[in-house]
Structure 1
Amino acid sequence: MNCKRSIILALIFFSHLPALFAQQPSLRVITYNIFEGMKLDTAAGKPSFVAWIKKMDPDVLALQEVTNFTQASLEKLAEQYGHRYAVLLIEGEKFPVAITSKYPILHVQKVSDNMDRGFITASIQGYNIVSVHLTPFDYRKRAQEIDLLMAHIKAQPVQQKWIVMGDFNTLSPVDSANYSDGRMIANYQAYEKKYAPILKLADGKIDYSVIEKVHKAGFTDVLHKMHPGFVKTVHPKRFEPKTGSDVSSRIDFIFISKDLLKKLATARVLTDDFTDNYSDHYPVLFELK
């Protein structure tokens, strides 16, 4: 009798496994600054970009610099690579962000006020997704923007299952050794001289405060978690200088709330023949189990 009961209980348990797994779906996401609307893919319909996205097969795509797209044209493009849903921050702006997805994009919030470029938050498959693009200019404005984003997230009713990704246009303290040769500071000093009164440096030093605030808010940098050594996202091969060495940096990030760490499967910068040539940023991929 006990043996039969055990078998019955086991059958009941295994019959419920699909439902248990469905409650916490896996997820494959990519964040990508596509360089003024993927303008280097000049053919109608962006066929090279579409083919590459199909190959990578993300569930969710967070995009920055979705230039010259409307909501309708973004939906049309996304359908070509298998994403039935798409959201554009705003039409008619030069550098809007966007999200496309295989799954419905719910509870969309778009923030462009007090932002140079803006961000979108949405719910997809139970995960809270952010696509953000911080200003590339003055570090003081960037500080205001990250404060706004972190406050926006903190004001939400749910503080779990957050994935915050995009072009942060700033450097991380965990990569500081890569910038210790002084070349990045020299670049920023030259920029300040040309575009005064814009400030790229804080008291003559690299400003790490933006990423520090994200860390302090409880988020984990997934690429650094998986690859503690420096991995650049700027510049891809096409945009490296013809003479001398590139002043490389990592300014594209994916951060997750700590409750997702146990599901972290992989994270990497995507370098291949396509990403070497079609944008001035490399994309970053992240997967949850």
Structure 2
Amino acid sequence: MKIVQYNVLDGCRTDERYAMLFNWLKERDYDIAGFNEMNDWTEAEFQREMEKLGMPYTVLYRMESSRFSIGIASKWPIENIYMTDEAPFHHGLLHVKIQEIHFLVTHLSPFESTIREKEATEIADYIQSIHEPLMLMGDLNTLSPLDQDYYKNSGSKEKMLQRKFSKRQHIIDGEINYQPMQTLLDAGLHDIGKGESLDYSLPTKIKGELQDPIYVRIDYMLANQAMLKLNPSSTVIRDDQGNRISDHYPVQGQFEDE
């Protein structure tokens, strides 16, 4: 089974980016696709475009609290379990079931990490009652303690301290706050994309060549213990098309069908 999770930057609403996204997805023939920032998409449009890609089953969660819709498409029927945009969620949580596997798609707050601490705690509590295979995926906007050696050795913290938004987003008391991700790991989720080097998902080159960028991994696929039996793995896909489609690179995952 091959899946993708993609933050598509404001819904890819230019003709050029829209076409590039469609062609990119078509070339790879995914079985399941999760999306963040499906701004201004309708359920009908999502259904129509995903059906062209061989994924005729779709759920698009258009929240009242946020323009940044989240969605999932599949080659197989989708059982819609739960969706919420109530506090503390900034861009909502979508829970579906496909082929006896639970998929949670979310997009955590891009602002203070203390907000993401609350979102992560809510997710951690929510998944405790789920003992079947489960995957949480999305733009989690948080840094992982599993990557802290890279951030330390690359001077990432020092760069963040000098940049107003990055400082607001990731720094608490002068240090990178890894607690949101740590909460999810402590809840029994496993980071299936951790590699020997930083598999960064941001930034791309959508705004041109990069000037002293801060490379971060903030897009993830996390699996529970039951999901590990299917040997899941994930990697960030960085290519020329990805540099022009969105400000995030997509995460591609695979696992064995039961």
The TM-score normalised by the length of structure 1 is 0.81
CA RMSD of aligned residues (A): 2.1
Distance 1:72 1:91 in 2: 16
Superposed CA deviations along residues 251-279 of structure 1, whole A, max 9, x for unmatched, are 00100112222322542211222112110
Distance 1:193 1:50 in 2: 31
Distance 2:14 2:185 in 1: 35
Q: What residue number does 1:288 align with?
A: 255
1:117 partner SS: coil
Q: What residue number does 1:261 align with?
A: 228
2:24 partner SS: helix
2:204 to 211, 227, 236: 236
My pick for the range that moved more, 135-144 or 264-273, is 264-273
2:175 partner SS: coil
Distance 1:117 1:106 in 2: 21
Assess, with a 3 A threshold, how the Cα gap between structure 1 residues 265 and 137 changes in structure 2: closer, same or farther: closer
Q: What residue number does 2:238 align with?
A: 271
Amino acid at match of 2:245: Y
Assess, with a 3 A threshold, how the Cα gap between structure 1 residues 193 and 129 changes in structure 2: closer, same or farther: closer
1:281 partner SS: coil
Assess, with a 3 A threshold, how the Cα gap between structure 1 residues 211 and 217 changes in structure 2: closer, same or farther: same
Superposed CA deviations along residues 176-202 of structure 1, whole A, max 9, x for unmatched, are 1222243444335532699xxx56422
Are 1:31 and 1:166, in contact at CA under 8 Å, matched by a contact in 2?
yes
**Cα shift at 1:57:** 1.4
Q: Aligned ranges for residues 1-289 of structure 1 at < 5 Å?
A: 27-42=1-16, 46-90=18-62, 93-114=66-87, 115-154=89-128, 156=129, 158-180=130-152, 181-188=154-161, 190-191=163-164, 200-224=170-194, 227-239=195-207, 241-242=209-210, 244-264=211-231, 266-289=233-256
1:48 partner SS: helix
Are 2:121 and 2:184, in contact at CA under 8 Å, matched by a contact in 1?
no
**Cα shift at 1:151:** 1.6
1:250 partner SS: coil
Percent of aligned positions with the same letter in both sequences?
26
Larger Rg belongs to = 1
**Cα shift at 1:144:** 0.8
The TM-score normalised by the length of structure 2 is 0.90
Q: Which has the larger share of helix?
A: 1
Q: What residue number does 1:3 align with?
A: none
Structure 2: gaps (5+ residues): none
Structure 1: gaps (5+ residues): 1-26
Are 1:170 and 1:208, in contact at CA under 8 Å, matched by a contact in 2?
yes
2:97 partner SS: strand
